[in-house]
Structure 1
Amino acid sequence: MKKKEQEVADLDFEKLVCNLSSRDLSTFEKQVLAKGLNFVPTPKTIDYVDLIGRVEQGLRNVEHSRANELRCSITNCLVSRTYHPTMNLSPTEFRVLKQLKREQSIITTKADKGNVVVLMDRQAYNVKVTELLNTGTYSAITKDPTETVRKTLIGKVADLYEETNEEKMINITKWLRYTTNFASPELFCLPKIHKEDVPLRPVIASGQCVTSYLCRYLTTILKPLTGHRRSHAENSLSFATEIKQIELQDSDILVSYDVTDLFTSIPLDLTYQIISELLSNDVSLNERTKLNPYHITKLVKFCMEDGNYFHWKGSFYSQKRGAPMGSSLSPIIAEIFMEHLEEVAFPTGFQNFHLKAFKRYVDDVFTIVEEGKDRDLLEHLNSLFLDKILFTMEKETGGQLPFLDLLVMREENRMTTKVYRKPTHSGRYLNFLSNHPLNVKVGIITGMVDRAVNLCSREYFNEELDHIRRTLQQNDFPKRLADIYIGRRLNNPRGNLTASEEGVVNTKSHIRNNPCILLIYSLSRQGTSVSWQVSRHLAVVFVGCPKSVALVACPLRFSLLILLLVVRHTCT
């Protein structure tokens, strides 16, 4: 057997592809799907319309004469070079995907966790979604409220500008008036394949909804209100650093607590009051906005109530309680409420509950508690907001307890850590043959190395590096390239930010502060030439297609996810 064939044979397709449908999949079909829904096929032709539109958008803030020079340079670059793509999918693989696309009785999506491709019978999926909509959390509404919400919000924002002279209100008003591609939030669900009966996790795609700009703005105002408590776990690195300083006693046990369905359980009326009080006591508020606490709280309420609707299969629904999954404002609302819950639970500190440690990341809580007191703490937490907030508990097993993406282990009187992967983890990141820019692929390598450096105790570090090399090989990364960039990253660490986090920060900052041309990954070949032409004046930033509009706005060749027309599009 050839080497490549041996590698394919060694892949665990059951981990990469979960077939819950009644249709049998051949090994070859599993092999194609196992490339992952983020795999981008090489485009057969250049999409000049999209390329021109993106270049023009990037040139809006460039001086007129210089913009014309750049247009000429880019045009000459594109017309003087013949496009000869090297296809990364064979004709047979394309035929397999088209055949799956034509089968209307099944849907293709990804799992809630683990980057696993999931196939389900459409009828079974629709039944599960219908059951979810009938749980009492949602109610049907007669028509699409998008236009009504837009007009109402324009009036509110305009009034706030007249009252406060906050310039951001002008930007939001212009965006509301002149944006033509608003879309009502859309419900799609991700199967939880690691749980019995495979329940669905509802997600509301709201990236192109009327309130999306306002939600992002409100998030920047509210975020500084949180994260100041001793119990706050900023990320896995800060958590790992802190717990390694703790000395354990024989009577101590490791226990984690988790809130069931936090977002839809948040008591919003109470949270509005908390937000208003926090803003009123914030002496730095006027540095972030000219809006007062009353204005901000009213806008938050509008987003969480008037803007909390979605559509599914042509019908419209409103969410009767809690915050929507998918809104950029929901995580900060959840954090504000959970910090208040802590204040109610421990008004005088943790000493009365025999807690040696209490660290929380949103709705995940890690504790070191005296043995026998763990159940008392669970009952106390569940008594705080009866019929609203329900905690579950997990105790250490064999001296080990997973928390976030860490596995915390007892070693005599201390704790060590290493990277934790759930049993459903597929090992699929991004196939190297995908038509992504090289810097994206390198970012995967450096991000994995950073995580090993930051999270693994010394005795587990080499074990994690071996796992990284195996994983990269399974994702078709050339061994030499992987070794080069692993070595470079080990010799040049970047502090506390992982490469992926650092890339997000740098990209967002560059887009916000500099003129950029944003190209989707499938334009990466043309984009390399464009980048060379404009490098002295503009940056070319490669971005993914926005999740909420990917199935509508991007060409079908964009990725397997698009090629297969998955849940959010096919089920409507």
Structure 2
Amino acid sequence: MSEIHGALGNNCQANSSSVYEEKANALLQDVNVYEQLKKDPTQKYQTKLIKLLKDLKDKGAIDSRTYWKLYPTVCDVPKFYGLIKIHKAGAPLRPIISSIGSVTYELARFVSGIISPLIGNTEHHISNTQSFVEDIRDLRWDPDESLVSFDVSALFTSIPVDKTLEVVGELLKSDSSWKKGEAENLEPEQVLDCLRFCLGTSYCVFRETFYLQRYGCAMGSSCSPLSEDAYMEYFESQALTSASHPPRIWKRYVDDTFVVIKSTHIEEFTDHINNIDPNIKFTREEGEDGKLPFLDTLVCRQQDGTLKVKVYRKPTHTEQYLNFSSHHPLEHKLSVVRTLLHRAETVVTDQTDKEEEIAHVKNALRNCGYKDWTFFRGQPKEKDRASQNPDSETANKGFVTLPYIEGLSEKLRRVFRTAGVSTNFKPQNTLRSALVAPKDKTEPIKQSGIVYEITCADCDASYIGESARKLEKRISEHKSTAGSSKSAVREHVVRSKGHQIDWENVKVLEREQKEYSRRILEAIHIRTQKPRLNRDKGLEIDPIWDNLLMPRGAPLHRNIL
């Protein structure tokens, strides 16, 4: 059995499951980073978070609306998986903990929104490739200088959490601009309590075994990149001010740095930055023949000492882009054209190189089925910019994401447009979803945020319900109401005199984290399946949807709801 993963670009690599698991287990067996747990700690962390939120609410730090927004109801277990670094020797794994729907998912997003504006404001920070090119466009390289790139090894699992919290605390105290909106009544220490909880509960499951990340930040939590950035800003400040011969230029994007330094000082400076924090270690790449790859650029030295920038493609790059014949909306295909041509225009600094890059892009796209007319349609138009303007007349009337079905979705867009509602399309079946499945699957009995169906083993009676809690918990609640009038399921057993509920085959019909959307799904299933045991019909659905919900030719019972 093979699994296909890829950590960069459009390349992928097939590994046998045994090789993948061997690499993943090698990471998880590092006792300096991970600790194996005896059982699932979700319930324990859920209880602790509820206590933390209640304390904040009681002290007036957050209001009831924020309390319930952050309250952990749907609590999926974070899943560990690895993406193969196909560009590195031995194809090692990049460890990721998927925290979507976990206990701390909403809290981490909340904290990230507070601290995000405080980070990335130093002269050394790079936000993207375009800003990097602008920063070095007028830079001159002296003959006795070298271009060097330093890369932090395993950055996320190397960050000291305690020091990071101290750094973030200083940022919160020195700049109070974050005290607004939902965070208006919070104090810096209370924000730190929330961040400390998020970073301290980085647990996960892999192949039914639970682990706790003891050191560093988990890649996959929304507050981890910001925590990493905060610490690295502190680290680079210490490193540069204490260096005997600091580099003239130090630019950093996450864990990669672009450095201009005297050639005679490279070894000394490398030793210096590798001895500041015992857990933060840098690898080094020096430019060859006056050229250094950094991010997706190739920085080249010219004879007069100026620098020019070209697009860089790794040796593993395949020139495979979204095929024009694939079942995706046209706008997605045109966005591929637009993105690649925009990169050529904004990243490449020399006109001749720019023309060569544009020709290269067009040739690669032609090989993926793109026609020449797409190169013109792929250019942004004034009317497109106007339609994307948030202040436009239609922008505030709503937005909807539709599954993409060629021909039908475009017609629905035109209908929504007449009502001033913007639309976006999302393909439902992709090669990635079909071939790449690195995460552990959650057993139905362990799933939360569900619409479920309970059936009778002796007749066609059934019950459809929804719950934010795990299915096993909901089943336990149904069973515990034996003999109670509160349970329609148990009432059926009593009245039928001998019928048994098929508890072993309770089905999960839908999964949805958002309560309102989940209740809509529940109501749809009740309306279409008409379960005999339901006492009410769930959320009211307008009869206008009957033609879509009911099978063709079925009678429309407009008094159902």
Aligned counterpart, 2:297:
406
Aligned: 1:540 with 2:423: yes
- Counting aligned pairs with the same residue, the percent is 30
Aligned counterpart, 2:377:
485
AA matched with 1:311: V
- 1-structure distance, mates of 2:37, 2:327: 42
- 2-structure distance, mates of 1:275, 1:364: 21
Aligned counterpart, 1:332:
226
- 2-structure distance, mates of 1:451, 1:399: 23
Aligned counterpart, 2:368:
475
Higher relative helix content: 1
AA matched with 1:144: D
Aligned: 1:527 with 2:409: yes
Stretches of structure 2 that go unaligned for 5 or more consecutive residues are: 444-561
Q: SS of 2:195's equivalent?
A: helix
Aligned: 1:444 with 2:355: no
Question: Structure 1 residues 218 and 431 mapped into 2: Cα distance closer, same or farther (>3 Å)?
Answer: same
Q: CA deviation at 1:567?
A: 2.5
Aligned: 1:561 with 2:432: yes
**1:483-522 equivalences in 2 (<5 Å):** 483-486=375-378, 488-489=379-380, 515-520=398-403, 522=404
Provide, for residues 373-431 of structure 1, a one-character-per-residue CA deviation record: whole Å limited to 9, x for no partner: 11111111011102x00011111101100111110000021000011111111222312
Aligned: 1:114 with 2:3: no
- 2-structure distance, mates of 1:354, 1:365: 14
Query: RCO (CA 8 Å, sep 6+): is it higher in 1 or 2?
Result: 1
**1:100-499 equivalences in 2 (<5 Å):** 105-107=1-3, 109-136=4-31, 137-167=33-63, 170-171=65-66, 173-174=68-69, 176=71, 179-180=73-74, 182-287=75-180, 289-290=183-184, 291-306=186-201, 308-347=202-241, 352-386=244-278, 388-412=279-303, 413-457=305-349, 458-481=351-374, 483-486=375-378, 488-489=379-380
Q: CA deviation at 1:358?
A: 1.3
Question: Structure 1 residues 335 and 510 mapped into 2: Cα distance closer, same or farther (>3 Å)?
Answer: farther
- 1-structure distance, mates of 2:27, 2:393: 41
- 1-structure distance, mates of 2:263, 2:114: 41
Judge conservation of contact 1:324–1:330 (CA < 8 Å) in 2: yes
Higher Rg of the two aligned structures: 2
Q: CA deviation at 1:161?
A: 2.3
Judge conservation of contact 1:427–1:471 (CA < 8 Å) in 2: yes
Aligned counterpart, 2:496:
none
Q: CA deviation at 1:518?
A: 2.1
Provide, for residues 276-332 of structure 1, a one-character-per-residue CA deviation record: whole Å limited to 9, x for no partner: 1110111313235221110110100101112x0111111111111000011111111
Aligned counterpart, 2:511:
none
Q: How many residues are matched?
A: 436
Question: Structure 1 residues 537 and 252 mapped into 2: Cα distance closer, same or farther (>3 Å)?
Answer: same
Provide, for residues 504-525 of structure 1, a one-character-per-residue CA deviation record: whole Å limited to 9, x for no partner: x989x999966322224x4464
TM-score, reference length from structure 1: 0.71
> Comparing 410-419 with 217-226, which one deviates more in the overlay?
217-226
Provide, for residues 517-564 of structure 1, a one-character-per-residue CA deviation record: whole Å limited to 9, x for no partner: 2224x44643322222222242222246xxxxxxxxxxxx71223333
- 2-structure distance, mates of 1:510, 1:419: 39
Q: CA deviation at 1:474?
A: 2.4
Judge conservation of contact 2:54–2:67 (CA < 8 Å) in 1: no
> Comparing 282-291 with 124-133, which one deviates more in the overlay?
282-291
Provide, for residues 201-242 of structure 1, a one-character-per-residue CA deviation record: whole Å limited to 9, x for no partner: 111111221211111121111111112211122221121122
Q: SS of 1:367's equivalent?
A: strand
Q: CA deviation at 1:436?
A: 1.8
Question: Structure 1 residues 389 and 510 mapped into 2: Cα distance closer, same or farther (>3 Å)?
Answer: farther
Judge conservation of contact 1:259–1:392 (CA < 8 Å) in 2: yes
Q: CA deviation at 1:492?
A: 7.0
Aligned counterpart, 2:461:
none
- 2-structure distance, mates of 1:223, 1:325: 17
Judge conservation of contact 1:419–1:464 (CA < 8 Å) in 2: yes
> Comparing 353-362 with 253-262, which one deviates more in the overlay?
353-362
Judge conservation of contact 1:309–1:316 (CA < 8 Å) in 2: yes
- 1-structure distance, mates of 2:45, 2:405: 36
Aligned counterpart, 1:11:
none
Stretches of structure 1 that go unaligned for 5 or more consecutive residues are: 1-104, 545-556
Question: Structure 1 residues 151 and 173 mapped into 2: Cα distance closer, same or farther (>3 Å)?
Answer: farther
Judge conservation of contact 2:395–2:422 (CA < 8 Å) in 1: no
Aligned counterpart, 1:18:
none
TM-score, reference length from structure 2: 0.72
- 1-structure distance, mates of 2:101, 2:323: 29
Question: Structure 1 residues 165 and 571 mapped into 2: Cα distance closer, same or farther (>3 Å)?
Answer: closer
Q: SS of 2:259's equivalent?
A: strand
Judge conservation of contact 2:148–2:287 (CA < 8 Å) in 1: yes
Question: Structure 1 residues 141 and 381 mapped into 2: Cα distance closer, same or farther (>3 Å)?
Answer: same
- 2-structure distance, mates of 1:201, 1:336: 21
- 1-structure distance, mates of 2:116, 2:218: 18
Judge conservation of contact 2:147–2:286 (CA < 8 Å) in 1: yes
> Comparing 358-367 with 430-439, which one deviates more in the overlay?
430-439
Question: Structure 1 residues 513 and 278 mapped into 2: Cα distance closer, same or farther (>3 Å)?
Answer: farther
AA matched with 2:363: R
Provide, for residues 435-492 of structure 1, a one-character-per-residue CA deviation record: whole Å limited to 9, x for no partner: 22211111111111111111001231011101111221222222322x3235x34x87
- 1-structure distance, mates of 2:208, 2:179: 43
- 1-structure distance, mates of 2:22, 2:288: 37
AA matched with 2:131: S
Question: Structure 1 residues 117 and 376 mapped into 2: Cα distance closer, same or farther (>3 Å)?
Answer: same
Judge conservation of contact 2:246–2:269 (CA < 8 Å) in 1: no
